[in-house]
Amino acid sequence: MSEWTPSLVEARLAEAAYVLKRLPSARVQGYFSTWPKIFYEFSDLVGQEPRPMRVPPSPAAISRMEETLSWTTGLDPVDGKIIWLRAHGERWKTICWTVGLQRSAANEHWLYALCVIAWRLNHRPVPKLRSRRYVIEMVKRACEPLELPQE
């Protein structure tokens, strides 16, 4: 990857959230059941919805997910929470209720966190004494494709 942009970071976080959802659930060690496995007949299954089929993620997807999990360290806890809620596909209304911010403020926190992650992945120092809007605009300008002059 040559240059990280906030949209690439967002896509990678969404992929990581999807992989986390597809991982098998954790089981407590040492417990087992002595009951025999139940064999269902056709009449038992009538009217029931089929179980969702779980396809485990590939090892490459799991390693990308593990790499992505460390990206939110060093962010403000509210920003990290917004990033992961948005990656899991939560609606903005639910996110605003969870973190206690208005929609515009939550969106600015989300954009700022994406920009900070992209800037760090590009091995650039994030300016500490600047506003969120300045950092967002700085990253947007840096990630814009260069336009050739018109003749």
Per this entry, what is the length of the chain? 151
Residue with tokens 């700022």: 112
Contact 84, 13 (CB under 8 A): yes
Q: From CA 122, how far away is CA 54, in angstroms rounded? A: 35
Against a cut of 0.85, is the pTM above it? no
The whole-number pLDDT of residue 53 equals 80
Tell me the longest C-alpha to C-alpha distance in the chain.
80
The whole-number pLDDT of residue 46 equals 85
pLDDT along the chain (151 residues), means of 10: 86 95 83 84 84 86 94 94 96 96 96 93 90 90 64 50
Contact 9, 114 (CB under 8 A): yes
